[in-house]
Amino acid sequence: MAVMKMKISKYWWCQIIGWSVSIAISIFFVTTFGKISELYITSLILTCITGLIITHGMRLSIHRLKILKKPLKEQIAFFIGLTFLFAIVFGVSSEMIDHMLGYDPQGRAAKYSLGQRIFLSCFNALWSLLIWNFIYFIYHYVEKTRRRELDTFRLEAAVKALELKTIKSHINPHFIFNALNSIRALVDENPERARSAITELSNILRSSMRAEMQETVPLQQELNIVKDYLALEHMRFEERLKIEFNIDPDTLQQPIPPMMLQTLVENAIKHGISKQIDGGTIRICSLFKANHYELTVQNSGKINGHGTNGHEGFGLKSTHDRLNLLYNGKAHFEIQDLPSGMVESKIIMPVASIL
C-alpha cells in the first residue's frame, strides 16, 4: 500500500521556522546574560506555540475578510486593526500561561498589578505581531505585483502571437497569388517549363507551411525558398532578370523571421524588375556589420512617390510590423533609393547567439 506523504506548505514552513528562530534567539540572550530555568523554557515554548496559533487565526481572518483584495489604503488600515486586536489576545494568553505554570519572570507580580502585567504583555506581543504582519503583507504585495506583471506579459505574448499569425496569414496568399501569375504566363508559351514551375512552387509552399510554425528560421532555410522563387520568376523574365548573391557564410545560421526575405524579393520583382522595360538586377546581401546583422535586397528601379523610408504596400508594412513585434524595437526596416539607380530594402537586427 502506497504511503501518503504529507506535504508541508511554504506558509507552514515559514511559521515553524520563524517561531523556532524566536525561541532560539530568546534562549541565546537569556543564557548570555544569566541563568536559564526549565520553567522559563516551558513558558517560552508554550508562548511561541500560542503565537503560532494566534497568527494563524489572524491569517484566517485576513482571508475571510478578503483584506488582500481591498484597495491598498484599506488593506493597511485592516492590518493595523487586526494587529492591535490579536496583540491583546496574545498578551492575555501569555499571562494566562505564566499564571498556570506559576512562572513569574523578574518578580513582576510584586512590582506590577495584574492590569499592568497584561498591558506589558500586550505591548510586547504588539511588536511581534507587527513584524509578522509586515512580512506577511509585503510578501503578498510583492507576489500580487509579480502575478500581475506575469499576467500582463502573458497577455502581451498572446496578443503578439495573434498579430504575427494575422500578418503571416496575409503574407502567404500574397505570395501564392504572384507565384501563380508567374506560372500562368508559362502555360501557353512553354508547357514543359510550366510543369517544372509547378513542381518548384510545390517545394516553396511546403517550405512556407513548415515556416508558419516558427517565429524565426536560419537564413540558409529562407535562402532555399528564395532561390526556388527566383528560379520560378527567372522562367518568366528569362534574360531580363539577373540575380546576384553576396552572402557571408558566417550568417547562414542567423535566425530571421520566416518568409521575410521572400517578401522583400517578391516586392523587388513586382515593383522594380517588372516595371523596367529591360528588366534589371536583384542583389541579395547578408553580412554582420559592427554589432548588428544586415540583410539587404537591392533591385533596379526607383521608389515612386515615396520618401526615403516610405513603406509601399502590405508586404513592406508587414515586414516593419513583424520586426517591431519580434524584436521590441531593437530591429528596424528601411527602404531607399541608391545613387547607382537601385532601390535598397534593408533589415537591421541584433546578432543572435548561435549555439
Higher pLDDT, 31 or 151: 31
pLDDT of residue 128: 86
Q: What angle do CA 63, 69, 70 make, to 5 degrees?
A: 110
Confidence bin at 149 (pLDDT 50/70/90): confident
Q: What is the pLDDT of residues 151-210, one digit of tens each?
A: 777 756 665 665 555 555 544 555 577 667 777 777 777 788 778 778 777 877 776 666
| Residues 232, 182 contacting (CB under 8 angstroms) | yes
What is the tally of helices (H) and strands (E) in the chain?
A: 9, 7
Nearest to 275 by CA among 304, 296, 246: 304
pLDDT of residue 209: 65
- Counting residues of the chain whose pLDDT is more than 70, the rounded percentage is 84
H or E element in which residue 330 lies: none
Of 92-96, 143-147, 153-157, 242-246, the range with the lowest mean pLDDT is 153-157
Of 56-70, 79-93, 210-224, the range with the lowest mean pLDDT is 210-224
In the three-class reduction of DSSP (H, G, I as helix; E, B as strand; rest coil), residue 290 is classed as: coil
Q: What is the pLDDT of residues 67-82, one digit of tens each?
A: 888 888 888 888 889 8
pLDDT of residue 355: 38
Residue 127, all three cell numbers: 511588536
| Residues 308, 279 contacting (CB under 8 angstroms) | no
pLDDT of residue 164: 56
Domains assigned to the chain: 12-151 (no CATH), 188-350 (3.30.565.10)
Report the alpha-carbon distance of residue 196 to residue 344 in Å, rounded.
31
pLDDT of residue 305: 41
pLDDT of residue 307: 37
